[in-house]
Amino acid sequence: MKRTRTSKAWMREHLNDEFVKLANKQGYRSRAAYKLMELDDKDKLIRPGITVVDLGAAPGSWSQVVVERLHGNGRVIALDLLEMQPMRGVEFIQGDFTESAVLKQLEQSLNSTKIDLVISDMSPNMSGVELVDQARAIHLTELALEFAVHWLQPNGRFLVKTFIGSGFDETVAATRRYFDKVMTRKPKASRDRSSEVYLLGLGRNTLM
């Protein structure tokens, strides 16, 4: 009974959400599009001619924003465990990023080409157990960072969703080893009650 009430309350909030309404009106696949728009407006991450990898891409709203802002000049590779409806200008790989075979498939698609921008909106399947969910979320952040460190070209950029809690400070410290500037962002479309924040690394350095 409690779970049913909680689900109904979530659905009411979701349907009344200003960003959900805006996404429906403007044709974006989810409200998350407005998170990336705000971050890009502030930090100028997307520019024509770059190669972008979008991790945890489904249903595809971040890829939509990237394609729009590349203006037909650039490459977008999206990956997710879930199916994503085809999108013009996006190469999609379906698979679990935590599996080595899927990572290898992604790397093969790059064909030794370094990336300009890695974006990740990955989240784990939530169990409802806070410590477990936090550990899983941090693990995904670490995997995204590891990929970015290996594949970003010098001065490349990295944007990843993570969650404040156990392991967060260590993740920020790890990111700082590889980027000239590291900042946290909380876009307006990120719900206030959520512990999610976005970790932004600018200027992949060549020291490590």
Catalytic residue, chosen from 8, 21, 25, 161, is 161
The packing angle between helices 33-43 and 61-70, to 10°, is 40
Long-range CB contacts for residues 180-183, cutoff 8 Å, separation at least 24: 180/205
DSSP 3-state assignment of 77?
Answer: strand
**Residues 96, 153: Cα–Cα separation, whole Å:** 24
27 touches 39 (CB < 8 A): no
Q: Measuring CA to CA, how many Å separate 127 from each of 80, 120, 175?
A: 19, 21, 27
Nearest residue to 110 (alpha-carbon basis) of 53, 155, 190, 63 = 53
Torsion angle, CA of 97/55/10/187, rounded to 10 degrees? 140
Residues in the chain: 208
115-120 and 152-163 strand pairing? parallel
* CA neighbours closer than 13 Å in the CB half-sphere of residue 82: 11
44 annotated active-site:
no
Active-site amino acid positions = 161
